[in-house]
Amino acid sequence: MGVFELGKMTLEGLFKKPETVLYPFETVTEPPGFRGHIEIDETKCILCSMCARACTTGCIEVDKKGSTWSIKPFACVQCGLCVEVCPKSCLAMEVSRTAVGRKPSEIVLVVPEKPKPERKPRPAVAAKGVAAPADDDPKVADEGAKAPLSPELEAEIAKRIEGLDPERAEKVRAGLIARARRAEAQKKTGGQTAEAETKAPVPEGVEA
Ligand code: SF4
Ligand code: SF4
């Protein structure tokens, strides 16, 4: 840039209206695509911390124990990553600018507790009035194991535990009976038969 051109620009600058405004006393209209600041609908937040993990500058903090979500607005660079990763879509980029302040501030919001979902009761087993065995309730599973079995089921279970040591055979038998009871309960809704369920591969967690 030549000296004359530079001098012309300097002189022009002396008489032109300044490009800047006295924010926050004066504002200009935000241009299209302007990313203002982060807003949260804390009633939808589940405190999963995904936004905090994704945050480029580490300005979001999530305290699950204390049920708080906080942000340091002046440290935010408006990259929008937190908005993208939030599984509950509770974060948004609001067009308006970050509120001004003399000191770096932190906004701390208390996230309201969500009502716990109700657990559905397990369906009762129609056959012989035995309650459906629960995998996580050994007492119920044991009671189910003691209920009489059909000869076909006994034969199938005997085949599966053949050759196992007595302790392991007992465990496998209890697991297979529990699954058979479940299958009986599902029969009503078009599920598998007890024998078909027993023939299925033994899943992880149940020894076979
Ligand atoms: S917009 Fe970027 S910098 Fe700002 S809070 Fe979200 S992830 Fe962090
Ligand atoms: S990602 Fe969304 S739901 Fe998860 S803590 Fe952040 S704001 Fe809450």
pLDDT in tens, 156-194: 888 888 888 888 888 888 888 888 888 777 776 655 444
pTM of the shown model = 0.54
Q: Where are the domains of the chain?
A: 31-110, 127-199
DSSP string, 140-163: HHHHHHHS---HHHHHHHHHHHTT
Alpha-carbon distance of 78 to 98, in angstroms, equals 10
* Tens of pLDDT, residues 135-153: 445 555 455 555 677 888 8
Q: Which fold has domain 31-110?
A: Alpha-Beta Plaits (3.30.70)
Pocket probe mutation, ligand 2, options 44, 45, 59, 89, max atoms within 8 Å of Cβ: 45
Between 30-39, 40-49, 77-86, 189-198, the lowest mean confidence (pLDDT) is in: 189-198
In this structure, the residue with its CA closest to atom 7 of ligand 2 is 45
With a Cβ cut-off of 6 Å, ligand 2 is lined by 40, 45-51, 62, 69, 86-88, 90-91
